[in-house]
Amino acid sequence: MSNTAMEIVKKSRMVSRPTTLEFIEQIFTDFIELHGDRYFADDKAMIGGIALLDNQPVTVIGVQKGHTIEENVKRSFGSPNPEGYRKQLRLMKQAEKFHRPVILFVNTSGAYCGIGAEERGQGEAIARNLIEMSGLTVPIISIFIGEGGSGGALALALADRVWMLDNGMYAVLSPEGFASILWRSPERSGDAAELMKLTAPDLLKNGVIEKIIPESAQGLEQDLEYTTSILKQALIEELKILKSLTIEELLNQRYQRFRKYGEFTES
């Protein structure tokens, strides 16, 4: 029996769900984490650095949640501040300079919504990343490993390929927020989740993602290696295809990928 959309949302949010660092440990070797945005601070909710994928240098970036209250407080529960997105941008531009592909892991309910974040330009930081990613001259692959919410997720998802795990989600806002706005009743979040078409099969059907990465029947938490072995091989093969393109071809295909969104119609 398949899960409902809201059941998938709950799975994507589980505190036991493997984090970006756990995926990095399983897929890559020789990971070196880099810190700071060179403007304000080092945001612990956004991690990134250099690693090897099958002996190929890549830049790896992702939103990092925790498994305990203490870890999640340290990581702002996976909601980056502006300095997190500016660190992401710094590492992407560094990757471009040294011709390294960029691989991003998305798992966030959204950007941090605090007064300080707004004062330091949260919206500008996200918008700047979208502008820069649209013209980045190296391949970009984004993988939704859990929750994907609002502009905080979009800032990591303007990519050549966007993939999602079985129990991932991607939406403009939470089902609870959607239900509160539409029906003034957050209790109808289940109805909202179905209406929003935020699960991997719906997103694949509508062309928002290109691939669904399967999770083990035992669950991602019990058998992470099952998923990471599939994901690693898929990354190796896809990067060969993307690296074979000229810069002009790469950028044109990325442009066309996002231009087609305006053509979606409800079937």
Which parts of 11-101 are beta strand (E)?
29-33, 46-53, 56-63
How many structural domains compose the chain?
A: 1
Domain limits for position 42 = 5-256
Q: With respect to residue 99, please indicate whether it lies within any of the assigned structural domains.
A: yes
Q: Alpha-carbon distance 11 to 252, whole Å?
A: 36
CATH number at residue 110: 3.90.226.10
d(CA 151, CA 128): 12
Which uninterrupted H or E stretch holds 254? helix 247-259
Cα–Cα separations (whole angstroms), residue 181 to 124, 138, 173, 174, 194: 25, 39, 11, 11, 15
Residue 140 lies in a domain: yes
- In a domain, residue 98? The reply is yes
The pLDDT, as a whole number, for residue 98 is 97
Query: Is the CA virtual torsion 245, 107, 210, 230 positive or negative?
Result: positive
Kind and range of the H or E element at 39? none
Structural domain contains residue 262: no
CA distance 143 to 237: 15
- For position 248, what pLDDT does the model report? 97
Q: Rounded to whole angstroms, how far apart are CA atoms 139 and 254? A: 9
| 245 inside domain | yes
Q: Is position 224 within any domain?
A: yes
Alpha helices (runs of H) in 28-134, residue ranges in sequence order: 69-74, 82-97, 115-119, 122-134
3 state DSSP class of 142: strand
- What pLDDT is attached to residue 72? 94
106 and 66 in contact (C-beta within 8 Å)? no
Q: Report the distance separating Cα 105 and Cα 35, nearest Å.
A: 17
Kindly state whether residue 261 falls inside one of the protein's structural domains: no
User: Could you say which DSSP state residue 169 is in?
Assistant: B
Q: Which residues of 37-48 are buried (b: 16+ CB within 10 A; e: fewer)?
A: beeeeebbbbbb
- Give CA 8 to chain center in angstroms: 16
Can you give the pLDDT of all 267 residues of the chain as single tens digits? 578 999 999 999 999 999 999 999 999 999 999 999 999 999 999 999 999 999 999 999 999 999 999 999 999 999 999 999 999 999 999 999 999 999 999 999 999 999 999 999 999 999 999 999 999 999 999 999 999 998 999 999 999 999 999 999 999 999 999 999 989 988 899 999 999 999 999 999 999 999 999 999 999 999 999 999 999 999 999 999 999 999 999 999 999 999 887 565 444
Whether 265 maps to a domain, the answer reads no
How far apart, in Å, are the Cα atoms of 143 and each of 67, 84, 102, 235, 266?
A: 20, 18, 11, 10, 25
Residues in a beta bridge with 207: none
